[in-house]
Amino acid sequence: MSEATPQVPRPRIQGISDLIFGLALSLGAIQFVGSAPRDYGTLVADLSAFAFSFFILISIWNRYTTTMSVIPVETGWVVRLNMALLFLVAIEPFLFNLLVIPQEGLSSALASHVSQFYAADVGGMNLILAYFTHVLTMEEKRLIPGELVHRFRNTRDFLLLVSAVFFVSALPVFWDVMVGGYPVRVVIWVVTLPLIAFSRAITSRL
């Protein structure tokens, strides 16, 4: 891909992006340190929860860096979408830890609202990435070699599907219905992980 587009200096937004992604990943681990596990089951649950958040953020970061390394010029609209994406990344650890770490005064109703915000947060990140990926598929822009356009279109479609799943999971009914002691909303998120992994695998050889 580097041969298909001219090399241009990366603006400061790239450095800020790496910093925010790094901080988001670090904050997720730090907040778990402040909540020591009481037993083996709690330890496994905490590690599983952190792994979930880590996988979400690292998948977003991987797709983000791949996409933004190809777009040669960051116009005003790209910068604004970047800011929106980075905001969503920055609040992900806050929302996630409100859900998984016991909080005094966090009622079931409030937990439902927090989970809705989290679903919208992850859905929004994937939606913005889908748009960035769509820009790469525009053949008239010639940002990527023609033989890669189909692969990036598949990635865009998977990102849109993941975004739609998270947005739909925010519906109130998916919190009220339980499966195995967990709200269906959470089950949907976990089941979606293989779809996210497959989306990454599509362009892992680029």
CA–CA separation, 174 vs 82, rounded Å? 30
Structure tokens at 26: 């670090």
CA 188 to chain centre: 15
pLDDT number for residue 12: 63
Sign of CA dihedral 13, 14, 15, 21: positive
Q: What is the DSSP letter of 38?
A: S
pLDDT score at 74: 59
Which residues, 6 or more positions from 11, have their beta carbon under 8 angstroms from its beta carbon? 74
- Please check whether residue 90 is in contact with residue 23, taking contact to mean a CB–CB distance below 8 angstroms: yes
Q: How far apart are CA 61 and CA 67, in angstroms?
A: 10
Both tokens of 27, joined, read 């904050």
Q: What is the pLDDT of residue 8?
A: 44
Structure pTM?
0.85
Element (H, E) at 110: helix 108-137
Please report the pLDDT score of residue 150 as a whole number.
83
pLDDT (0 to 100) of residue 140: 62
Encoded tokens for 37: 């596990």
Q: Which helix (H) or strand (E) holds 186?
A: helix 184-202
pLDDT in the model for residue 203: 52
Distance, CA of 3 to CA of 142 (rounded, Å): 11
Residue pair 136/90 in contact by the 8 Å Cβ criterion: no
Predicted local distance difference test score (pLDDT) of residue 2: 46
pLDDT per 10-residue tile (average), the chain, 206 residues? 46 76 83 71 84 91 85 71 94 90 72 94 96 83 77 89 95 92 92 76 54
Quote the CA–CA distance of 147 and 166 in Å, as a whole number: 31
